[in-house]
Structure 1
Amino acid sequence: MAEKEAVEATVTGNDQQVGFRAMVMKQAIAYNLAGSARNDANEIVHFTLQGDKHRIDSALATLQEGTKRSSDIKIATTSAAIDPGLNAFTIVDWTSSSRNITNTYNLVFELRADDTAISPTDAKAAWHQILEKTLNADDLKKLQPND
């Protein structure tokens, strides 16, 4: 059985309005990790990841690289308690200022029962399905093909 762990993380650098929380969620989808991502009142990204230790390490390595529009990303992590009942990853109060989406949404990915990892392409497709089932029709129209 794979070793499980949970981490809490704080991100510094140019991580606002660059799709960083979406990137965290796509990593959670790809590696079937539970947790959450949110901005605090000071626009600092905080996230948690829970699941297979090696998958978390892989996700963190990718996140450290940042998005195409982010820069100077630094991620500080600490160990966290494992929540055995946690079975989803949620972006809390997601908006997109670059897309003029000002309504807040909680975007939720439910863990896959088979606990498989999937490709980045499949993770992006799952991300799109979450957006399509969560956003209202007007906000869906504001998305770009590569979102």
Structure 2
Amino acid sequence: MSERMAFVEALARVQAKIPSADAYHLLNEAIRLGRIEARQGPATSMRRALDWVPNLSDREIDNREIDRTSLDTWLDRIVSDARGDPLPANQNSTRQPHRPRGTGYADADAAIVAEMARLYPGQCASATEAAWAIVGRDGKGAKGTGAPESKVDRLVRLYGRTHRE
């Protein structure tokens, strides 16, 4: 944890940012789900609590200490979600799965597709026939550990994307 604050100070910050919500339950739920870091604080934080929020009810007197950074991050996210603001790119939680750069067959396949373009149309009747002519029935003409049919399918798809007929 970085800089810490009393639970009631955090509660006051939540009430200030989101006045219409039940701040106590909202804050407790965020802590329970691990979105905000908290730990049991010393008994002295109970006394500090009365300085932050007057007229606390019994349920709101809590001696947990809250991590200020995680609270601020969580509050910013909640407020921006409520306004409909887009999240910054580094906080986007729905990233599309993708292959890491440089781990595919794109470089090796580019040379084969260029050769396919030379063969079709002309010597071969289709892009598939041109791919088979280069890959061979054993599949050794193209990189990869897949079946020859899979390699031909991959090359024909790439040919179709790069050479519109």
Asked if these proteins are the same fold (TM beyond 0.5), I'd say: no
Bigger-Rg structure (1/2): 2
Q: TM-score, normalised by structure 2?
A: 0.24
Greater fraction helix: 2
Q: Which structure carries more strand by proportion?
A: 1
